[in-house]
């Protein structure tokens, strides 16, 4: 995930653009980005197909500690002839949804796509039905579901969010949350964009229509990660010795 500050005019504070896959490097990258900036109470505009479960949880807790606000969109820095804006037709999928939940206030545009599914073993998510699983694998998945559940409730999310996400296996399409489900899960806390992005324009339909689907927008390597939920240690322990852990992903 890449972080950028989108500067605005005098009557607009600006916001953080957060784009791409959440990896084991993302929390550290955010700390590097935040160093020397007064980010308390700022807004994060998310455009992501998800990624590492545990790293997303760590990043989400950092967002909440800073009192950040969250929304979904594609940031347009503008130019000499135009002011910065946000195109609403963007994607927040998988663990991005739980980053969205970390916002002190949360707004989702009507044109945005917020989609969820189960967490899964990272090295077997691409062919989950054909893969084999051990008791260790089940322990890892259940452990991370527990971590995700605690995080969800700590952030003020509803159990309905976990129920909806955990009902969609990795071999099925992600479930897109309806407007009613966004409120049921408590992902949305306001219907007013001004509560998270005051004095900022939403880009018009022409620009929003140019925004491709998330798996087309990101690179080929990231497309693979975006296909399905991933979790915990991707490398299976062998020979009775645990292999090095990789970042849990979703």
Q: Give Cβ neighbours of residue 117 (< 8 Å, ≥ 6 apart).
A: 94, 165, 168, 169, 170, 172, 174, 175, 228, 229, 250
Give pLDDT, residue 121: 84
Q: Which residue has the higher pLDDT, 83 or 94?
A: 94
What does the DSSP 8-state code read for residue 194?
Answer: G
Tokens of 136: 């260790």
What does the DSSP 8-state code read for residue 121?
Answer: B
Would the pLDDT of 22 be above 70?
yes
Q: Which residue has the higher pLDDT, 200 or 64?
A: 64
Q: CB-side exposure of 227: number of CA atoms within 13 Å?
A: 14
End-to-end CA distance of the chain: 14
What does the DSSP 8-state code read for residue 76?
Answer: E
Would the pLDDT of 29 be above 60?
yes
Q: Which fold has domain 2-226?
A: 2-enoyl-CoA Hydratase; Chain A, domain 1 (3.90.226)
Q: Is 81 helix (H, G, I), strand (E, B) or coil?
A: coil
CB 166, CB 138: distance < 8 Å: no
* Pairwise CA distance, residues 201 & 213, whole Å: 22
Tokens of 232: 């915990």
Least confident of 25-29, 33-37, 131-135, 218-222: 218-222
Give pLDDT, residue 10: 64
Mean pLDDT of 107-124: 92
User: How long, in residues, is the chain?
Assistant: 250
Q: Delimit the domains of the chain by residue range.
A: 2-226
Would the pLDDT of 116 be above 90?
yes
Distance of CA 183 to the CA centre of its chain: 17
* Pairwise CA distance, residues 167 & 34, whole Å: 36
Tokens of 226: 């975006």
Give pLDDT, residue 122: 79
Mean pLDDT of 229-236: 38
Whether this prediction's pTM lies above 0.85 is answered by no
Strands 113-116 and 175-176: antiparallel
Tokens of 138: 């089940």
pLDDT tens-digit profile of 145-201?
999 999 999 999 999 999 999 999 989 999 999 999 999 999 999 999 999 998 776
What does the DSSP 8-state code read for residue 100?
Answer: H
Average pLDDT, the chain: 82
Q: Would you place residue 203 in the very low, low, confident or very high pLDDT band (cuts 50, 70, 90)? A: low
Give pLDDT, residue 123: 82
Q: Give Cβ neighbours of residue 146 (< 8 Å, ≥ 6 apart).
A: none
Give pLDDT, residue 141: 92
Tokens of 127: 């062919």
Give pLDDT, residue 223: 36
Would the pLDDT of 246 be above 70?
no
Give pLDDT, residue 213: 37
Give pLDDT, residue 221: 34
CB 156, CB 104: distance < 8 Å: no
- Name the residue among 118, 101, 5, 105 with its Cα closest to residue 57: 101
Q: Which residue has the higher pLDDT, 137 or 11?
A: 137
């Amino acid at each position: 995930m890449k972080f950028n500050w989108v500067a605005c005019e005098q009557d607009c504070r600006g916001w953080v653009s957060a784009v791409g896959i959440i990896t084991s490097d993302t929390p550290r990258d955010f700390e590097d980005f935040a160093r020397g900036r007064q980010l308390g109470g700022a807004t994060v505009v998310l455009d992501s197909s998800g990624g590492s479960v545990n790293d997303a949880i760590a990043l989400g807790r950092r967002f909440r500690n800073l009192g950040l606000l969250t929304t979904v969109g594609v940031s347009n820095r503008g130019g000499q002839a135009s002011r910065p804006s946000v195109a609403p037709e963007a994607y927040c999928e998988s663990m991005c949804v739980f980053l969205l939940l970390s916002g002190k206030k949360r707004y989702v545009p009507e044109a945005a796509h917020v989609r969820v599914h189960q967490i899964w073993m990272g090295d077997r998510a691409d062919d989950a039905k054909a893969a084999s699983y051990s008791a260790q694998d089940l322990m890892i998945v259940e452990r991370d579901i527990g971590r995700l559940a605690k995080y969800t409730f700590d952030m003020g999310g509803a159990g309905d969010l976990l129920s909806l996400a955990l009902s969609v296996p990795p071999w099925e399409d992600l479930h897109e949350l309806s407007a009613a489900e966004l409120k049921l899960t408590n992902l949305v806390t306001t219907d007013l964009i001004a509560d998270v992005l005051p004095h900022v324009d939403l880009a018009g339909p022409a620009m929003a229509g140019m925004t491709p689907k998330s798996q087309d927008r990101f690179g080929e390597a990231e497309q693979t990660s975006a296909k399905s939920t991933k979790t915990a240690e991707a490398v299976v322990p062998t020979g009775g010795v645990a292999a090095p852990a990789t970042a849990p992903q979703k």
